[in-house]
Amino acid sequence: MKGKTGPTARLIEERFWEKVNKDSENGCWIWAAGKYHSGYGIFYVKNGNWKNVRAHRFAYELLVAPIPANKELDHLCRNHACVNPAHLEVVSHKENCQRGENGLKFAELQRQKTHCPHGHPYDLLNTYFKPNGARGCKTCRREWIRNYRLQH
């Protein structure tokens, strides 16, 4: 969106900002029009044909820069209705999922586990960390390698 000028672009921008409430105490710019069930704002844009776009993505591209094709925006404020670009960060899908509520809940559940699925303790002597940050059981890993070597 950034860089577009002319009467059509101005009309689209005016329509967009009419639907934003900037009077939030925490600095969020709240989308006050239609929303998806997930809480993300919907904004209809005519660029040849009418299409709906996510309001926070429209605001980011309008005020900051285009969003790379393989990236998405993370709401740092955790408010899906917020369109303030200062509250948005371009991240990978994986990072966005890990930062989200479900990712944080999953990580907390994993941290609460004191033993591997086979009953070996997750302690300093028996735990290793995989490149993705997950824990692994050294005893299970040694048993897996032993069985693999016996079969091959």
pLDDT tens for residues 49-85?
Answer: 788 999 999 999 999 999 999 999 999 999 999 999 9
Q: How many domains does the chain have?
A: 2
Instruction: Check whether residue 60 and residue 132 sit in a common domain.
Output: no
Beta bridge partners of 46: 50
Which regions of the chain does DSSP assign to beta strands (E)?
Answer: 20-21, 30-31, 42-47, 49-54, 72-75, 88-91, 127-129, 135-137
Residue 7's pLDDT is 54
Report pTM.
0.64
Domain range for residue 116? 106-151
Q: Assess contact for 128 and 122: CB atoms under 8 A.
A: no
Classify residue 101: in a domain, yes or no.
Answer: no
Instruction: Check whether residue 86 and residue 118 sit in a common domain.
Output: no
- Exposure b/e, 85-117, CB count within 10 A at least 16 = b: bebbbbbeeeebebeeeeeeeeeeeeeeeeebe
Report the percentage of the chain scoring pLDDT > 90. 65
